[in-house]
A and B are shown apart, each in its own frame.
Chain A
Amino acid sequence: MSMGAVAHSAIFAPKPGLLARFSDLLWRRPTVLLAVLLGPPVLWLGVIYLGSLLALLVQSFFSIDEFTGLIQYQFTLKTYGELLHPANLDIIARTVLMAACVTVASVIIAFPVAYYAARYARGRWKALFYLGIMLPLWSSYLVKVYAWKLILAKEGILTWGLSKVGLLPLLNGILSIPVIGGNSLSVSYIGTFLVFVYVWLPFMILPMQAAMERVPVSLLEASADQGAVPAQTMRHVLMPLALPGVVAGSIFTFSLTLGDYIIPQIVGSSRLFIGQAVYAHQGTAGNIPLAAAFTVVPIVIMGFYLWGAKRLGAFDAL
């Protein structure tokens, strides 16, 4: 009856080769597969990414000797004390306020766009939507910021256009507002704000659109069925369910604004933002500990921000 040991089973395919045996091993032990797949990226994240962040954190607890300008490798909170100087607090407050304004403005502008894309755009219009949102991301960030500087400059197209339609007094009126105004839009906080909103807007629209797309149409219909006018449906059903998307988007707009050092340098007043302060301290000033301490500020702020968002229930629907 037996055909001998060489005969293959009629039911199970033979398993030749090393590669096939390896496949069998992975199939039998999914954890091995997981380790093979996840090993390299986890190493990368752990060592290069988190490791350098840790090094940064350690740096911020060192201090600089005011006479020699050399770093003293002793743990101290002196550098963090320096953060509390009025000039440095100003920088932090200015940056946080700007990030908050940019985020709020992005939500307001992104909402109708994301809503349209999620609810109405189909086929070709949807492709056009994605293209329209992504296209600006394909061109160089620096080019865009310099282009904005030209648009907003006193001799720029915006001033010219406004003068042609007789709205120049309006612009001058806005520019004469203390603090946020200035000589021209390109050297005012308003200008910085406009460019920030322009550059980070796609990062708000995309997650909001994704979140709204996940809200079943039947929920909106059920709300209308229950007597809610569209504004009430938006407030009680759509907004709460789209909140995770808003929070995800705001994490981008808020944290990117907190850390950026190029936009305020090119467009805006000469007053510093956190990113610029970090750049100045680690570069020309050579004060690495203070630069590190400044870098910790956005991390801490984002930590609180996420904690607050979690308390608000922003991640409940995930």
Chain B
Amino acid sequence: MQSAVLFKNVSRHYGEVRAVDAVDLEVRAGEFFAMLGPSGSGKTTSLRLIAGFEQPTAGHIEIFGETAEGVPPYRRNVNTVFQDYALFPHMSVRDNVAYGLMIAGTGKKERFAKAEEALELVRLPGYGDRAPSALSGGQRQRVALARALVNQPKVLLLDEPLGALDLKLREQMQEELKSLQQSLGITFIFVTHDQGEALSMADRVAVFDHGRIQQVGTPEDIYQRPDTAFVADFVGSSNILPADVVQELAGKGAQASLRPEAVRIGPGEAHEATVTGLSYTGAVTRVSLAFREMHLTALVAAGTPLPERGDSVRIGWDASALHLMERGA
């Protein structure tokens, strides 16, 4: 399959700060790709390198097989949905969406028709005459999406586009973005610090930390088989068992991750632990446990009888739930 974006040993340094540090990356044509990581991990800088707002300090970038270094953003067939939407406040919604077409020299009638089509695509038909300031956050987000899509880009970049929306709207937009991407077939590259968002939307996820990629894989890979302790912890706050404990339990000297939902609490289980805290989150209750001078978290589904703080309990898990991280950081 052709690669949409290819990074070969790409770095972007600001003085001493290595925002992106020797990154190799391949985004395949037509996939929904998520860049996941905490703030300052290099994911947004990577996105800006693809958009052309930043140039790499070292390394090589290709977009659909063409060299991208030195190509300014306005010569790239790549469009961005900005975190703050970046709608032009002095233009109507219609002029905002038609901006790229206007720049490209498309006639007024044609570009307004295409703008209206794009607005229909994001389910805002008839909003063309309004001012961006008269729209809600969710609507602005859709206009920004329409403005990017109207140019029919080869790659669509989304920089935390759902960050400013409330939970309900965010979940709705996640589904819409996913189905939009599937129907349009455009390569989407999505930057987020929300692991739930990345896992639910992306075909593949790259996890960033300190300017480097920790792991690239399908959401299932990332979640079930994390390569490093950072990935295990950042994606779904896994329990990380140190190598000596793993040696004792599984006979192998490597760190291992253990998903909280895989930890069972019940009388017949293998290990002894003490309950140190409970926190109710709705569908599940998070139980904090002290286990061999270590802190473990277990998730208990609603309806299951709960232990109390200070109780001694028996805990256990399937051997297969213990995922060894031999590449461990």
Contact = CB atoms under 8 A, between A and B. Distances in A.
Interface of A: 216, 218-219, 221-229, 232, 236-237, 240-241, 313, 316-317
Given A240-B90, A316-B90, A225 B84 contact: no
B110 to A, nearest CB: 16
Contact of A224 (B73, B87, B102, B147): B73
B198 to A, nearest CB: 23
A313 B103 CA distance: 22
Contacts of A221: 51, 53, 73, 80, 82, 86
Interface in B25-54: 51-53
A317 B102 CA distance: 22
Nearest to B80: A225
A126 to B, nearest CB: 19
B84 A227 contact: no
Contact of A216 (B79, B84, B103): B84
B90 A241 contact: yes
Given A227-B74, A229-B74, A222 B86 contact: yes
Interface in B71-124: 72-75, 78-80, 82-84, 86-90, 99-100, 102-104
A227 B90 contact: no
A317 to B, nearest CB: 6
Nearest to B73: A224
B73 A237 contact: no
Nearest to A220: B86
B89 A317 contact: yes
Nearest to B84: A218
Interface string B236-277: 000000000000000000000000000000000000000000
B151 interface: yes
- Sorted from nearest, which 9 A-B pairs have the closest CB atoms? A226-B100, A222-B86, A218-B86, A224-B73, A228-B103, A224-B74, A225-B80, A227-B103, A240-B90
A313 B72 CA distance: 32
Contacts of B51: 221, 225
A235 to B, nearest CB: 10
A222 B90 contact: no
B89 A241 contact: yes
B89 A224 contact: no
Contacts of B102: 236
Contacts of A228: 74, 99, 103
Interface size class of B (residues with CB under 8 A): 20 to 34
21 contacts: A216-B84, A216-B86, A218-B84, A218-B86, A221-B53, A222-B86, A222-B87, A222-B147, A224-B52, A224-B73, A225-B148, A226-B99, A226-B100, A227-B74, A227-B75, A236-B99, A236-B102, A240-B90, A241-B90, A317-B89, A317-B90
Contacts of B80: 221-222, 225
Contacts of B75: 227
Contacts of A223: 88, 99
* Residue among B83, B90, B148 having the largest count of chain A Cβ atoms under 10 Å: B90
B79 A225 contact: yes
Nearest to A313: B90
A226 B82 contact: no
Contacts of B100: 226-227
Among A216, A226, A229, the one with the most B-chain Cβ atoms within 10 Å of its Cβ is: A226
Contact of A219 (B73, B78, B86, B148): B86
Contact of A237 (B53, B88, B147): B88
Given A216-B84, A218-B82, A221-B82, A226 B90 contact: no
A236 B82 CA distance: 19
Nearest to B89: A317
A151 B133 CA distance: 52
A225 B151 CA distance: 10
Nearest to B147: A226
Contacts of B151: 226-227
A313 B92 CA distance: 14
A219 B103 contact: no
**B82, B86, B100 — which one has the most chain A CB atoms within 10 A of its CB?**
B86
Given A219-B88, A221-B53, A241-B89, A227 B104 contact: yes
